[in-house]
Structure 1
Amino acid sequence: MSAALPTEPLGWLLSIIVLLGAIPMFVSATGHVLAGLHRVRDHYRQADGAYQPRVAVIVPAWNEASVLEHSIERMMALDYPSDKLRLVVVDDASTDDTPQIAREAVRRYPGRVVHLRRERGGQGKAHTLNHGLAHVLADDWAEAVLITDADVVFTPTAIGRMGRHLADPSVGAVMGFIREASEPAHWVGRYVGFEYATAQLAMRRAQNVVGVQGCLAGGAQMLSRANLEAIGGRIDTTTLAEDTVTTMQTQLGGRRVVFDPNAECWAEEPASLVALWKQRLRWARGNLQVTRRFRSVFFRRSNEHHLGNWWFGTMWFSTLYLPAFMIAASVALVVLWFVDQGPAHIAFQLYWGLSTLLFIFGTTFVLLLDRRVAYQSWLAALTFPGLVNLLILAVMLAPRPMDALAGQVMPTFGVTWDDRARAIAVLLAYAWTGAAMLAGWLVYRADRVAWLRPVVPALVLVVGFGPVLCAVSIAAYVAEARGAASTWDKTEKTGKVRTS
């Protein structure tokens, strides 16, 4: 097969579609470059470490008996003035021991812990938060509100580091860095740990640099009172992504949202693909709903905010529709293979060559950002795209040695490594970009079958954690297209996190 440029319009069109599939990876790489500029484009110079606002911490709690007591004790022990920190536990009609635990905390910490109870529960986090906000904003004590989850544990200095940014009146909200810290550690958590480092330590730093943030971390968001009152004193209840709506509303009102990577907290994450799928499906559907709601702000310049920033918009949509980019590239390659293999080979080489370079750059960058993530999740980072994709990357880096290796290995499986076998292998490689997401969905289905569950970690190693997340996005597209009910599914937690 000889490589050649397309000679027909169809060949050029398909080749362009393939190369467009690299846009999400390119945008991610530019985000890493921008993150490198964070040292000179951060908000620390405008922050004031001596500023310690009175903070009301709202914890929505729906059957959180397994996690609540530990979280309360850690919150009460933070390195923050006790007279400036008040914890409001909003009991969402819990049927376990949550009310008793909250009442006991009120007894132990009078004036510092407040217990509110909703008689009608299960409506979702936003409704529960609004119950708490109505109480907090009813008087003028709170100067800031920290919204968190019952399982999140903050480092001793985290609230102080977040609050210092609110000394700048132009800042409406601050978010901290949420670390994955499940105890005992599990294989899903290692992948999530690397994913969180990528999304927060790298990409949120980049968003700080360009002056716009996409989403306040749901478990670590501090909002100024002025900002809360400006957006109506309530959290959105019409979508599954109330934290993202709050982020957008804050910036549309002309106030900044800042990420502080030094304000750390620990959180437990789902230990199975089934639990993770439920959580991420809610997130993905919420992002689609938010995109529809705020579609008029993207790529539109404004003097009030930076939501129209071109890089931010490209990042947002390339992430949101990453599976569509991947499927389009894969289909175009397969069609090219049948129409004209020469141009297909060039398009494939360019697509995967760029993918290889960006994967190496991005993975190395994130692992260098944080020693803990590098130590705990290095294998998850290297295998995030899956062994099949890594095999293709290896072929791109060393085509002749890999061809020789295949010539030695394939005969043991009864396959003669000739031109025909090579052509079939190439076609399968072309198709894999799109097929990987189907494989990811099948792995998720396998996790629902008890006798298959033990092999699921090995299957994820082969298929890749990234393709599984992309499969979740496709499921979200389908659910939104079908108009499926938007219900809040609680993620079950055990209450055990590593805090050192």
Structure 2
Amino acid sequence: MLRRQDNRDAPRPLRAHWFILLALLGGLALALTVQGYMHHLGGIGRPDAPVAGPSSSVPKDVTQGGPVIDARGGTVRTVSPPEGTLALTFDDGPDPAWTPRILDVLRKHNVRATFFVVGSAAIEHPDLVRRIVAEGHEIGVHTLTHADLGSAPEWRQQLEIQADHQAIAALTGRTPTLLRPPFSSGNAEVSDATWEAIQAAADQGYLTVLSSRDSKDWQRPGADVIGRNLAPSSRGGDVLLMHDGGGDRSQTVAALDSSLAQFADQGFRVTSVGDAIGITSMREASTADRTSGTALSWGIRLSDILITLVSWGLVAAGVVTFIRAALVVGVAARHNRAARSLRAAARGRRRTDVVVRREVTEPVTVIVPAYNESAGIEAAVRSIAASNHPVEIIVVDDGSTDGTAGLVDAMALPGVSVIRKDNGGKPSALNAGIAAASHNIVVMVDGDTVFEPDTVRALIQPFAESRVGAVSGNTKVANRGGILGAWQHIEYVVGFNLDRRLFDVAECMPTVPGAIGAFRREALLAVGGVSNDTLAEDTDLTMALCRDGWRVVYQDDARAWTEAPASLGALWKQRYRWCYGTLQAMWKHRGAVFQRGAAGKLGRRGLGYLMVLQVLLPLFAPVVDVFALYGLIFLDPARIALLWFVFLGVQLLMAAYAFRLDNEPLRPLWTLPLQQFVYRQVMYLVVIQSVATALAGVHLRWHRMERYGSLKVPPAESTSTRALV
């Protein structure tokens, strides 16, 4: 729940949400690591099978022995199936397409076989694993991700074998003792590295099963060739190698059916490895094995679900981002054409399709709320007094302690008056000015902002239309020197101003900025003046006006120059207050979503846009960054880099167009790529902090921005391309 702000309350420490954020990102990183490990570091059916290395340390008992190797206890023994017996084995499954068909063929011929399953595939297709065991077949370990044990470090060897072991235990209630290293074949091909892995597995109690006849079905040479590869050359026992996963196994199914019929005709006994050599290879799983296996399986499944959801979220975020870019650029072009037509008509170069509106010439009251604004108040007041439109200036000193009111009095400018009051906050200062205003049009300007001579006149022209209740001007960053100033300059031009053009056309303007805004006094009084319910009094006021039926528009040629924060700390405080106050205002005016007319436009268009673009997307931004790192590590770095450059290119094009609309030089845009690595993170962390503060119901006090005294009164020939520093 969003609470009313109380300036007397100091903010309580709120650190829990950062721990929550770190925990969520840590969980996501863990899920991505699991996903990347499971699906991108290994791979069933990989074409890049490792090349066998030297075998100088492999005992002859292995290279010249039987395909079943027992290296437990430091003694090497090998064995082959007895004469006339064929041990049938399948690798790389289970596969949802081919394993069921192979099981059907085996059942047709009443044959039992050994399936060396890959843990990741087993977890993905648990019913197939259970069916294999239920139909009397044997299961062995083929590692978790089909990793080459010979080239894997010791920690990964243990992880690959034990994780597959635990997955099988969880799914079947039994533990296997047979192991087949991926990419292995016959005894003669065992390399030194593979032998070390076999010995390490033996220390964990595993028998290694190689093959004496390789069908080479993974090459898909044709069912006839596969059958010939399987055909025994003698009556001696063999271990046959086939595959039920890793690709198209239609030839395997066909060859298996014909070969089993042929073996039966020739009098061969076809069975599993354990049955062939007279051992029980699968035993009842312990509670520990089942528990750890279940945890592993669910952990992997949950990571898959999470990554799937995140992937869809990324797609949605990308689509929304590109739609927003196209929308704001298209609407900004329309807004610009309309504004240029009106200005041309006002100068006498009228077009037949433009209705000439009357020029607004009535005097204006300008209210300057000031609290300790001695650094810039003189420049602000002098710039307003230099307006080429008749103005009354009311400076409301809100209990300043730095002599702000005295500086204004000392200038002795005609038409300038000072109201002194006890400190009550910006809304109370503005309301005091509104009460003292002599004119129906009221302009509000912050004490750290200066106007150009034509600003007031340009700002009030939309009031020629009676339904316009407020006008937003074009706020410019004055102190745009340095990279932080350049980033804020880009944000003001590209983010704020493009959005305001969109809000103007859509008739759902949520904010008239405190730096420059004009209002009908009657509209202000109709909504009860400026409320102190939120920290974003300008947003709250604008939304109240929209809900009261008034039109709020944007006047891009009414320029005001303001000081922006010059440090990350100051920027954080300013944006924290802005974001938190905006959330308060959105909550306060949430009822507009269900209203009709102008209020409904604000609710469904304006609030909806703010919620998606300024709340939800920033909250999702850390996930995007973590996912980008995942892509660089586990996916194709070149593709990830290409996507990033495409995204950056869209931003650059949008920024260049926005700068053109504002008659700004493009030079600061060189900092835009760097903005993605620092400024963007600060902004989304601000949103996270604000949302957490709002949900926790913490009272947040006003954060006053530090003043730098860099503003100067603009000369008469001032243009928007000059920073007033």
2:421 to 106, 110, 118: 118
Larger Rg: 1 or 2? Answer: 2
Q: State the match for 1:203 in structure 2.
A: 499
Distance in 2 separating the partners of 1:62 and 1:242: 16
Q: Which runs of 5+ in 1 are unaligned?
A: 386-462
- More displaced 10-residue stretch of structure 1: 345-354 or 472-481: 345-354
Output the amino acid matched with 1:118.
Answer: K
Distance in 1 separating the partners of 2:371 and 2:363: 26
Where in structure 2 are the equivalents of 1:27-426 lying within 5 Å? 27-29=323-325, 30-40=327-337, 44=342, 48=357, 50-81=359-390, 85-105=391-411, 107-109=412-414, 112-119=415-422, 121=423, 123-136=424-437, 141-182=438-479, 185-232=481-528, 234-298=529-593, 300=594, 302-305=596-599, 306-310=601-605, 313-329=608-624, 352=644, 355-375=647-667, 377-385=668-676
Q: State the match for 1:485 in structure 2.
A: 699
Q: State the match for 2:228 in structure 1.
A: none
Deviations 1:251-279 (A, max 9, x none): 11111111011011111111111111111
TM-score by length of 1: 0.72
Output the amino acid matched with 1:115.
Answer: V
- More displaced 10-residue stretch of structure 1: 87-96 or 473-482: 473-482
Output the amino acid matched with 1:171.
Answer: V
Q: Is the 8 A contact 1:174 1:221 kept in 2?
A: yes
Distance in 2 separating the partners of 1:363 and 1:129: 34
SS in structure 2 of the partner of residue 59 of structure 1: strand
Higher share in helix? 1
SS in structure 1 of the partner of residue 592 of structure 2: coil
The 3 A distance-change label for structure 1 pair 350 and 295 is farther
Q: Is the 8 A contact 1:194 1:373 kept in 2?
A: no
Higher relative contact order (CA 8 A, sep 6+): 1
Q: State the match for 2:176 in structure 1.
A: none
Deviations 1:395-436 (A, max 9, x none): xxxxxxxxxxxxxxxxxxxxxxxxxxxxxxxxxxxxxxxxxx
Distance in 1 separating the partners of 2:565 and 2:622: 28
Distance in 2 separating the partners of 1:381 and 1:327: 19
Deviations 1:23-43 (A, max 9, x none): 552243021222122145559
Output the amino acid matched with 1:143.
Answer: N
Distance in 2 separating the partners of 1:163 and 1:78: 13
Q: Is the 8 A contact 2:490 2:655 kept in 1?
A: no
Distance in 2 separating the partners of 1:132 and 1:80: 19
- More displaced 10-residue stretch of structure 1: 87-96 or 174-183: 174-183
Q: State the match for 1:444 in structure 2.
A: none
Distance in 1 separating the partners of 2:639 and 2:427: 46
Distance in 2 separating the partners of 1:201 and 1:337: 34
**Does residue 472 in structure 1 map to residue 686 in structure 2?**
yes
Deviations 1:192-230 (A, max 9, x none): 111100123322112222222121011101001221121
Measured after TM superposition, the shift of residue 336 of structure 1 is 9.7
Deviations 1:130-187 (A, max 9, x none): 2222222xxxx3111111111211111111111111111110001110111128x333
Deviations 1:433-473 (A, max 9, x none): xxxxxxxxxxxxxxxxxxxxxxxxxxxxxx33122111221
The 3 A distance-change label for structure 1 pair 334 and 177 is closer
Q: Which runs of 5+ in 2 are unaligned?
A: 1-39, 44-123, 125-300, 343-353, 719-725
Q: State the match for 2:318 in structure 1.
A: 22
Q: State the match for 1:423 in structure 2.
A: none
Measured after TM superposition, the shift of residue 383 of structure 1 is 2.6
Distance in 1 separating the partners of 2:565 and 2:607: 29
Distance in 1 separating the partners of 2:375 and 2:471: 28
Distance in 1 separating the partners of 2:610 and 2:632: 30
Tell me the C-alpha RMSD between the 2 structures. 3.1
Measured after TM superposition, the shift of residue 53 of structure 1 is 2.6
Output the amino acid matched with 2:499.
Answer: M
Output the amino acid matched with 1:366.
Answer: A
Measured after TM superposition, the shift of residue 22 of structure 1 is 2.1
Measured after TM superposition, the shift of residue 379 of structure 1 is 2.2
Distance in 1 separating the partners of 2:431 and 2:526: 15
Distance in 2 separating the partners of 1:228 and 1:310: 23
Measured after TM superposition, the shift of residue 328 of structure 1 is 4.1
SS in structure 1 of the partner of residue 531 of structure 2: coil
Measured after TM superposition, the shift of residue 281 of structure 1 is 0.7
Q: Percent identity?
A: 27
Distance in 1 separating the partners of 2:656 and 2:387: 34
Measured after TM superposition, the shift of residue 334 of structure 1 is 7.9
Measured after TM superposition, the shift of residue 326 of structure 1 is 1.8
The 3 A distance-change label for structure 1 pair 26 and 325 is farther
Measured after TM superposition, the shift of residue 331 of structure 1 is 6.0
Distance in 1 separating the partners of 2:595 and 2:621: 29
